[in-house]
A and B are shown apart, each in its own frame.
Chain A
Amino acid sequence: MTVVVLLIVAGGLVAGGFLCAFAWAVQSGQFDDTATPPLRMLRDDGASESRDKGVSCPLR
């Protein structure tokens, strides 16, 4: 019985922790725009050596 209660408390804490992390992520705007970041990471900053031809324009 005690073990079950202990497990429930531990499980609830872990799950609650993830819920809080999710809430923080949403509130800090990480889910606001899910379209642009995947495009952003395809490009290098500044340097023009890497001409990755694989990059296409998905919204053209």
Chain B
Amino acid sequence: MFCCTGCASVYDLIASHGLEGFYACDIPAGVSQRNSVTRDGGYAVFDDEVLAARLIEWRREGRARVQFSIPAMHCASCVWLLEQLWRVVPGVERSEVDLLRRQLAVEFNEHQTSLRRIAERLSALGYPPVIDAEHAVGDVPTARRTLYLRIGLAGFAFGNVMLFSIPRYINGGPLEPTFQRLFSTLNLVFAVPVLLYSAAPYFQSAWQAVRARVMTLDVPVALGLTVLFTRSVADITSGRGEGFLDSFSGLVFFLLIGRLFQQKAFEQIAFDRTVRSFLPLSVRVARGDTTVLTPIDRVVVDDELLIRPQEVVPADSVLIDAAGAIDYAFATGESAAVAVGSGQAVAAGGRVIGRTIRLRVVRPVSQSQLVSLWSDPAFTRPKPYWLADVSNRFGWWFTLAALALAVGGAAWWWPDAGRAASVATAVLIIACPCALTLAAPITLGTAMGVLGRAGCYLKHPAVILDLSRVDVVAFDKTGTLTARDAIDEGGSMTPRDRELVSRLAAESVHPVSRALAGRGPVVGLIHDVEEVAGLGLSGEVDGHRVALGSAPFISAETGRPLDADDGRAWAAVDGALAGCIELDERRRPGIEAAVHALNTRLETLLLSGDRSVDARSWAPLFGNRLRFGMAPQDKLAEVQQLQAAGHRVLMVGDGLNDAGALRAASVGVAVSDDTACLVPACDAVIRGDRVVDLPAILAYARRARGVILLCFALSIAYNVVGLSLALTGRLTPLVTAILMPVSSLTVVGLSVGLMRRAYRPRAAA
């Protein structure tokens, strides 16, 4: 049993290379990935120099290093296998995995192998590389490295400045003037690089915000830092005091750590798939008598395309052949194949079924229906997250209040100009929105990590706050509330037949085939696959003739009459009846309890594309809030209508047929039984068996919001104490040096402590 097609398909390869260590890893059985039957020639685009230049990091003396983006890698075994690539592909000298970013760096000898060959081998191993136009080589680590350097410098300065400040605090009174001058000067020497380098991002982003006339939380932070630093310099040079440089460097240090937390949480899940990764890389174009593999970007109108079974139509076209069958499950969600005749239109995104067809392109790729569906505003416009909204509004109020208090304080002390200036600056120093800049990222980052380990992957930490405010939950039915499973009735099939049948089933997208496929390894050759729409499919697998389909289809195959057509699927191997397969669509275990739990707090809704045959069985759960026969657009309209009525909608669906509704909803959660196949339009992906945890996830999200609000309250309390001291002119560097780190640390401690162990899924599977 294997965790992915890669693990499975390389079994022979691994054994023959003496790498059985691969199987030392305890991989759970039965977790299957989407089937990727590799086909020859699909990677010829890697011979394209333009594309190669995008992937190659460096190239010298016949050696080159490339970066592949491989979404399929997901476990320790994948890392191990991909780093042993040199044993499998001659010419590869070294390969290195970055698991978080799903990247593989390969160094190879260009005389012995080529980019295309490596790509083909990777694909054959079950790790098809994805070409993503937005990912340029080499630009990713720099941002992270800079952040680490900024933190390192701030921490270094913080430690040293504390070292020179503590003698003054311990002494109680002023130090000997020579020492005081020496220590203050040294503090200044350490603090200047912090101001110029470590704190630079806050000043840059505040400046951008001011120029764009928007308010972000970085504005009060930058203001506070500026005042803190100038006041300290003024105090030190005038000899009035020792300044606040310890607080200054400590503040920058803590703020940057909060930022690192945020970035780490964000990188946990690499949503590095875009819609383009669903489209084919290249396509066969007929030129005269031959066919040429062409990158899809270069396909033009009137090109004649040859699309083989299971391949996706890259552009809107018309059929040249007499007949063909297309499955539009990706674009529209219809799982039934559509038959098309000669001259009829075929939309991009359709998957060819049955036999190879010839098409004439009528619209280039970029204008095709599929791309326009994805470039719909509902997909491309980034959703305004509630957190961003709140923190911006909060930023306004905070800045205005701090400025008003500073002016008021100065006015109160006015005749005494020195005192007035010192009070005003003290107010601006102590009024720093640490709670929002630290509490939110750390709380949400922790929560995101906890949920990720529990099988619910969020696209952005701020999704949690949107989850906490949801009041309507809309479900899709098939694949969300129910799971499809093909059962081998009576266990009549031999394991060998079963394997042959599932390999044949991988060639088809019929629901029965989908449920059957992906269980066995996909190796060996499959020939002469033919699918007869509505009846079944047949083909030659490993030299055996295998057929899978309805009773009449199998009767014709075996020459033996079967019972009347009862909707079940039958299989035959080499002309003999092998067994019977039934598609069992059953509710996910525990789903009733989960929906009931949701019903107690909020409203639930069922939006299904199916006919209303089993409406009655769902009525106890959803009452009259059942909608059947909904097209993807209807689901989108329903969600938008609810939102127009002031509701915040959580849409839970299987991703592709309700992509519009997922994107439009306040939060869209895609249900996936295969986490390596991500859906671009959603805010979160949840593992199929974890859908029942939704009530727990929502409760956890509400808790996260509560913790953040608690941190706000706490920080306001600290601010009240600090401000009262500042306004009365008693804010000394010592008080600041204690108050600021204490408030930061309590906020961090509360956020992590209250969130880490608080997630309690009801059904521990």
Q: Is this pair of chains taken from one and the same complex?
A: yes
Indicate whether B179 reaches chain A with its CB closer than 8 angstroms.
Answer: yes
Indicate whether B596 reaches chain A with its CB closer than 8 angstroms.
Answer: no
Q: Is the CB of A31 within 8 A of B148?
A: yes
Closest chain B residue to A60, Cβ basis: B75
Indicate whether B1 reaches chain A with its CB closer than 8 angstroms.
Answer: no
Closest chain B residue to A40, Cβ basis: B79
Q: Is the CB of A33 within 8 A of B21?
A: no
Q: Is the CB of B74 within 8 A of A59?
A: yes
Q: Is the CB of A50 within 8 A of B24?
A: yes
| Per-residue A-contact encoding for B468-479, CB less than 8 Å = 1, 0 else | 000000000000
Query: How many angstroms from the CA of A8 to the CA of B25 in the assembled complex?
Result: 53
With contacts A48-B24, A55-B24, A57-B28 known, is A42 near B156, CB below 8 A?
no
Number of residues from A at the complex interface, CB < 8 A: 38
Sample (20) of A-B pairs whose CB atoms are under 8 Å apart: A5-B182, A15-B159, A15-B160, A18-B156, A26-B149, A27-B145, A32-B145, A35-B99, A36-B98, A36-B99, A39-B79, A39-B99, A46-B19, A47-B21, A48-B24, A53-B26, A57-B25, A59-B74, A59-B99, A60-B3
Tell me which residues across on chain A come within 8 A of B148, comparing CB atoms.
26, 31
| Per-residue A-contact encoding for B15-36, CB less than 8 Å = 1, 0 else | 0001111011111100100000
Tell me which residues across on chain B come within 8 A of A26, comparing CB atoms.
145, 148-149, 152
Indicate whether B144 reaches chain A with its CB closer than 8 angstroms.
Answer: yes
B142 CB → nearest A CB, Å: 10
A38 CB → nearest B CB, Å: 9
Closest chain A residue to B3, Cβ basis: A60
Query: How many angstroms from the CA of A24 to the CA of B18 in the assembled complex?
Result: 39
Extra contacts, 12 of them, besides A27-B149, A57-B77 (Cβ < 8 A), are A16-B156, A19-B153, A36-B79, A39-B76, A39-B79, A40-B97, A42-B76, A46-B21, A48-B21, A52-B24, A57-B27, A57-B28
Q: Is the CB of B75 within 8 A of A12?
A: no
Tell me which residues across on chain A come within 8 A of B145, comparing CB atoms.
26-27, 29, 31-32
Tell me which residues across on chain B come within 8 A of A11, comparing CB atoms.
160, 163
B184 CB → nearest A CB, Å: 13
Give me the interface of A with B, judged by CB distance under 8 Å: 1, 4-5, 8, 11-12, 15-16, 18-19, 22-23, 26-27, 29, 31-33, 35-36, 39-40, 42-44, 46-48, 50-53, 55-60
With contacts A22-B152, A52-B24, A57-B3 known, is A40 near B83, CB below 8 A?
yes
Q: Is the CB of A60 within 8 A of B28?
A: yes
With contacts A48-B24, A60-B27, A60-B74 known, is A32 near B3, CB below 8 A?
no
Query: How many angstroms from the CA of A31 to the CA of B140 in the assembled complex?
Result: 13
Query: How many angstroms from the CA of A53 to the CA of B23 in the assembled complex?
Result: 10
Indicate whether B637 reaches chain A with its CB closer than 8 angstroms.
Answer: no
Indicate whether B178 reaches chain A with its CB closer than 8 angstroms.
Answer: yes
Q: Is the CB of A60 within 8 A of B141?
A: no
Query: How many angstroms from the CA of A26 to the CA of B152 in the assembled complex?
Result: 10
Closest chain B residue to A50, Cβ basis: B24
Query: How many angstroms from the CA of A32 to the CA of B101 in the assembled complex?
Result: 10
Q: Is the CB of A57 within 8 A of B19?
A: no
Query: How many angstroms from the CA of A15 to the CA of B425 in the assembled complex?
Result: 32
Tell me which residues across on chain B come within 8 A of A56, comparing CB atoms.
25-26, 76
Indicate whether B100 reaches chain A with its CB closer than 8 angstroms.
Answer: yes
Query: How many angstroms from the CA of A32 to the CA of B148 in the assembled complex?
Result: 10
Q: Is the CB of A44 within 8 A of B21?
A: yes
Tell me which residues across on chain B come within 8 A of A31, comparing CB atoms.
144-145, 148
A19 CB → nearest B CB, Å: 5
With contacts A48-B21, A57-B27 known, is A23 near B99, CB below 8 A?
no
Tell me which residues across on chain B come within 8 A of A48, comparing CB atoms.
18-21, 23-24
Tell me which residues across on chain A come within 8 A of B160, comparing CB atoms.
11-12, 15
Q: Is the CB of A32 within 8 A of B179?
A: no
Interface pairs A-B: 10 shortest CB-CB: A57-B75, A48-B20, A48-B21, A51-B24, A39-B76, A33-B98, A36-B99, A26-B148, A19-B156, A22-B152
Tell me which residues across on chain A come within 8 A of B76, comparing CB atoms.
39, 42-43, 55-58
Query: How many angstroms from the CA of A51 to the CA of B23 in the assembled complex?
Result: 8
Tell me which residues across on chain A come within 8 A of B26, comparing CB atoms.
53, 55-57
Interface positions, chain B 435-460, Cβ under 8 Å from A, are none
| Per-residue A-contact encoding for B707-744, CB less than 8 Å = 1, 0 else | 00000000000000000000000000000000000000
Indicate whether B80 reaches chain A with its CB closer than 8 angstroms.
Answer: yes
Query: How many angstroms from the CA of A51 to the CA of B20 in the assembled complex?
Result: 9
A60 CB → nearest B CB, Å: 5
A31 CB → nearest B CB, Å: 5
Query: How many angstroms from the CA of A59 to the CA of B74 in the assembled complex?
Result: 6
Query: How many angstroms from the CA of A47 to the CA of B17 in the assembled complex?
Result: 11
CB contact between B80 and one of A4, A43, A52 (< 8 Å): that residue: A43
Closest chain A residue to B267, Cβ basis: A35
Closest chain A residue to B87, Cβ basis: A46
With contacts A4-B179, A57-B3 known, is A15 near B156, CB below 8 A?
yes
A44 CB → nearest B CB, Å: 6
With contacts A8-B186, A31-B148, A33-B98 known, is A55 near B156, CB below 8 A?
no
Q: Which one of A8, A39, A42, A47 has the greatest number of beta carbons of chain B within 10 Å?
A: A39
B565 CB → nearest A CB, Å: 41
B33 CB → nearest A CB, Å: 11
Tell me which residues across on chain B come within 8 A of A4, comparing CB atoms.
179
Query: How many angstroms from the CA of A24 to the CA of B148 in the assembled complex?
Result: 11
B233 CB → nearest A CB, Å: 21
Query: How many angstroms from the CA of A16 to the CA of B160 in the assembled complex?
Result: 10
Query: How many angstroms from the CA of A45 to the CA of B195 in the assembled complex?
Result: 47
